[in-house]
Structure 1
């Protein structure tokens, strides 16, 4: 509990707010940079026809997406602060509001899709939860294999096992994820009779309610994306763990402990392994966005209902508000991942708890 109340964590929590605010400004600015978007293109097409119904549709689109307002005003509405650009704000002046038109990202409303005019929250549905589930499974898979294999390779440096594991690690880093996905789909379908395209079987895919049968069906399918996304990361993390542990084993405190007769296994896991985990754990913050964005092609190959393909489709169709909301989801996952890694580092490394510099 003392670690949770540590000022180090308080500083990290305070930094989260301006970080997300800056990311929202960058995301909204970037999605406005390309010349045109889906709505602008649609309005040009409707204007060419000159039909009264089409002209009314143009006015509806302009009103729905506030196209005649300034960029700052649209940003404040998207964020959920419409009063920010209003001289005389109506209604609640701050966070809570019952008016759906005034709700934005701060109130959990991700806006509307330009292409379908549907709320982004409905389009996303369970995609965020499934994306987090796959990402957590991939991180767990990476840790379960990378940590023990990296420790073995460092302790048995230049042994036959070390050479074999290093060679397999290079292969894992070089094999494209989509190729491994196709291979596992074939093996699972031909050898085990389990089709793994998508995350659910046909009888559960359209079922909105969650029950134990649907969860078990998800577990039958989810192992393929976890393995595919985890292989490349595991290979890289093995090299990081091996290099960090080799560096720790050469430090004076390890030599001194060995000279005093400390048992090798006890010495290994009490200090060097814990210290070698620091850079390993620091990478958690960047893993969530990397798994989502880097796994978009794999998700499309496996027909996975995750955030990655949705964001890629939104960018290709110039659905800017949907793409911007997905970018903010990735930013939030990255910030939360960084906070989790900071908590783990605070627990593992006494130098951070005591505020002493690393030597």
Structure 2
């Protein structure tokens, strides 16, 4: 229980520190970000006193004491009030994030899980068959991993999308047919088709790292005494592979997977930009290009919380899988 108590305390303090930084950083910037934002909002229409006060609360510039601003900011976050977007005025930041988040979670999350599963299973098999022809798969996946992300996406768009016409090359659905995706079979198939090339880009770029890491861990694990003992006892090779070798070799990969899964919510900036995919990554690019401080802070806060939550869950799972960590964590 001490292990879990320390984990809860650590992540609670880290979350508080991240939220506090999200509050103080705009107030340390040169100039007055709040007045800049209010000026941009004024060009799009009338700025009500409530909106002006909300902007000052988020970015600084309020006449209230800093301590009062801080507590009001925390209260707004608890109630889901992240401010008003400049680039999508007068849309609330939370509404924009809420609309973009499912696209990123479904696409980037699924692609990350697929790449991890292929890498772990494939790496375990290649490590088990070390020295065989299967080792030739490693250089090919390493080559795919070394190709710049945006270049790989452009190649897939050109060859699979434009030349062969195997999948749509942009956006998340057919905007000429649907204003918004619908809960119909035709619309679901359409959304799936639009996700093929972006997902393939992520899988091809990521699978090489998991494959190499798992293969190397398998080779190291297979040299351990308990593996030699299991083989000497006459256990079936399949049991030695999956129960003894893979379970222990995969532990470091699970730690890395936690980090990769946590950053899913931040989207894939390059992929979403190349394919104009309506996820969090494209939303962040929009926020940066329009100096939309409120939206940038909202995405940053969401990413931070997601990273902490996923890593906390993986710590709990890791402590269950490997009891040794509970005595050293």
TM-score normalized with structure 2 length: 0.84
Q: Deviations over 1:94-147 (max 9, x none)?
A: xxxxxxxxxx22122222224524311222242112111123212221123101
Decide which moves more: 170-179 or 10-19: 10-19
Show the counterpart of 2:19: 24
Show the counterpart of 1:255: 228
Show the counterpart of 1:63: 53
Structure 2 vs 1, CA of residues 160 and 45 (structure 1 numbering), >3 Å: closer, same or farther? closer
Show the counterpart of 2:300: 327
CA distance in 2, matches of 1:261, 1:35: 70
- Does 1:191 find its partner at 2:164? yes
Check conservation: 2:265, 2:302, Cα contact below 8 A.
Answer: no
How far off is 1:223 after superposition? 2.2
Show the counterpart of 1:135: 108
How far off is 1:36 after superposition? 3.8
CA distance in 1, matches of 2:193, 2:152: 18
Check conservation: 2:118, 2:207, Cα contact below 8 A.
Answer: yes
> Which residues in structure 2 correspond to 1:198-277 (within 5 Å)?
198-203=171-176, 206-207=179-180, 210-277=183-250
Unaligned 5+ runs, structure 2: none
How far off is 1:348 after superposition? 3.3
- Does 1:178 find its partner at 2:178? no
Q: Deviations over 1:198-255 (max 9, x none)?
A: 1111156522654443332221111222221222221111111112112211111112
How far off is 1:76 after superposition? 2.8
> Which residues in structure 2 correspond to 1:69-80 (within 5 Å)?
69=63, 70-80=65-75
CA distance in 2, matches of 1:243, 1:156: 12
Check conservation: 1:43, 1:58, Cα contact below 8 A.
Answer: no
Which structure has the larger Rg over C-alpha atoms?
A: 1
Give the alignment's Cα RMSD to 1 decimal. Answer: 3.1
CA distance in 2, matches of 1:193, 1:170: 25
Decide which moves more: 106-115 or 7-16: 7-16
CA distance in 1, matches of 2:78, 2:192: 33
Structure 2 vs 1, CA of residues 204 and 71 (structure 1 numbering), >3 Å: closer, same or farther? farther
Unaligned 5+ runs, structure 1: 1-5, 48-53, 81-103
Structure 2 vs 1, CA of residues 288 and 356 (structure 1 numbering), >3 Å: closer, same or farther? closer
Decide which moves more: 241-250 or 22-31: 22-31
